[in-house]
Amino acid sequence: MTAQPLPALTSGDPSAWDQALYGFLVEKGNRSGSRRTVESYSRMLWPFFADLGKTPERVKPADVLAWVHGIGKSGRTPSATTVGARIACLSSYFRFLIRMGLVVSNPTDAVERPRAVQSVARCYTAEDVRRLLAVVPETVAGRRDRAILLTLVLTGRRRAEVIGLRAGDLTLEGETAFYAYRGKGGKRGRRELPHPAYEAICATLADAGKELATMAVDESLWQAAARPEGVSSGTFYSRFRRYLVAAGMAPTGIHVLRHTAAKLRRDAGESIEDVSAFLDHSSLAVTTVYLRRLEGQEDRAWRDVAEAIGV
């Protein structure tokens, strides 16, 4: 993947530091498989060095401290999450520079990280998902969106992984459909595609005058009421938010459907090991934390305490 969009170089003769920053962003994109990650790092790093007016080997911990706690374009004091993200971004870049032999120390090491307060992750119940699907209109665009929603909920894949699905990623073996994907960090996999999602995909392809058997391998699955290259991630996100409003549900990001997929499988009796494999998590510990945030921690003693104090 290429690191785009990146600011244009000021001349045709980029400095070693310009080249290093481009190289870092390209490496970050190749490792994460996420264009959004590259864009996020780019938006932080280029302004930091441009506003500071220093090259990396001259950056001091005090410079880092002032920047990570500085008020940005929003005019608001940065939250602990924003401070942590800024430190992580700059630290990652300096670790890259050390590996490349361009600097000898990481100025972020002297800056204290904010204490992370883990928020309760959001997810939907099965009833919530039914409510959401119920407001999707029976139109060409609606059937496409329904197919995307079902694929997200039933596979647990991330938005970019689903929006990026192409005809060549789907295969049919007997009566079972499979899909291939490229996940976070470049991880590749092949999984069974749940039948309701497969049927919904076939329906939206029919609306676009397409059939899987005759499509080119690089054609998008989401062409109905969209461009030939398929509906964009941003367009689907906007439509998803409208569906939430129509269903009387609080607006949130599409990642909530990945949370939902994990929680529904756990509720259905799958083991943590199964859910971990389903989500492509790196370890069971990651999955355990993930599920704990979704489920909350049950308080088994409050009734006894309430009775003891007479309430």
pLDDT at 181 over 50: yes
Q: List domains and CATH numbers for the chain.
A: 16-110 (1.10.150.130), 126-295 (1.10.443.10)
Q: How confident is the model at residue 297 (pLDDT cuts 50, 70, 90)?
A: very low
Return d(Cα 96, Cα 179) in angstroms, integer. Answer: 35
3-state secondary structure 120-168: CCCCCCHHHHHHHHHCCCCCHHHHHHHHHHHHHHHHCCCHHHHHCCEHH
Mean pLDDT of 248-262: 90
CA dihedral 123, 128, 132, 135 (to 10 degrees): -160
pLDDT at 151 over 80: yes
Please count the residues of the chain.
311
Return d(Cα 46, Cα 18) in angstroms, integer. Answer: 9
Average pLDDT over the chain, rounded to an integer: 86
Share of the chain above pLDDT 70, in %: 84
Instruction: Report which DSSP code applies to 190.
Output: E
Q: How confident is the model at residue 282 (pLDDT cuts 50, 70, 90)?
A: low
Mean pLDDT of 183-202: 88
Mean pLDDT of 172-186: 86
CA distances to 97, 116, 171, 307 from 107, rounded to whole Å, are 12, 21, 50, 55
Both tokens of residue 222? Answer: 């989401």
Cis before residue 5, ω within 30 degrees of 0? yes
Instruction: Report which DSSP code applies to 220.
Output: B
Chain-centre distance for alpha carbon 121 = 14
pLDDT at 73 over 80: no
Place of tokens 């104090």: 309
Neighbours of 72 (CB within 10 A): 13
